[in-house]
Amino acid sequence: MGEQSTGSDMERELERGLRETGAMLEGHFLLRSGKHSSVYFQMALLLQHPEWAERCGRWIAEGWSDAGIDCVVGPAMGGVIIAHEVARALGCRCIFAEKDAAGRLTIRRNFQIAPGSRVLVAEDVVTKGTAVAETVAVLRELGVEPVGIGVLLDRSGGNRMDIGVELRSLMQRTAPLYEPDDCPLCRQGLDLIKPGSGKVS
């Protein structure tokens, strides 16, 4: 896989990428967890650039290169691109989990994972950890215990749910998080943005 980068090198480069691509946004955001924040990391703006997607996937893969990974699984939508690039770097296949008609995350499209496979879950950003936790649960239902979780950015500040699987991230950053009924940004009357879908109020 070539010479490995040090953690500090990776973090500096990733910070540069976030700045260059405008992937770190400021405003009033509704996060997937339901909380509000003044900062949002829109990793799609970074990963739309193949050179950055490849680089980030390779960096995550370096941490799992000796784990004998058979398949990388990413929760749609945020985890799809990075999971593909991690799998490319590891030399294995990639699939994704997506919501069914009932809104439940599942493995579809005739993707198959044999029980006992060594699987890595990959995601772009973790705040509460809901998507990766649901992905892990789906895999366990299939008889697969994930080896680990590789993430670009962990912004949980240590407050994510306990998934019972080792999680490693390239970067950790915290940002203000507010409950909807106690949000100073709401009290200021700032428009609430649901990233990826425009204003919600």
Averaged pLDDT score across all residues of the chain: 88
Q: What is the pLDDT of residues 88-147, one digit of tens each?
A: 999 999 999 999 888 888 898 989 999 999 999 999 998 888 899 999 999 999 999 999
Assess whether the previous peptide bond of 161 is cis (omega < 30° from 0).
no
Q: How confident is the model at residue 197 (pLDDT cuts 50, 70, 90)?
A: low
Q: What is the pLDDT of residues 56-68, one digit of tens each?
A: 999 999 999 999 9
Domains of the chain are 7-199 (3.40.50.2020)
CA 84-164-102 angle, 5° bins? 65
Which residue type sits at 54? Answer: E
**Structure pTM?**
0.82
CA nearest neighbour of 169 among 135, 119, 125 = 125
Buried b (16+ CB within 10 A) or exposed e, 140-173: eeeebebbbbbbbbbbbeeebeebebebebbbeb
Q: How many residues does the chain have?
A: 201
- Residue 4 pLDDT greater than 60, yes or no: no
Q: How confident is the model at residue 3 (pLDDT cuts 50, 70, 90)?
A: very low
Q: How confident is the model at residue 31 (pLDDT cuts 50, 70, 90)?
A: confident
Looking at per-residue pLDDT, the higher value among 161 and 89 belongs to 89
Those residues whose C-beta lies under 8 Å from the C-beta of residue 117, and which sit 6 or more positions away, are 70, 71, 144
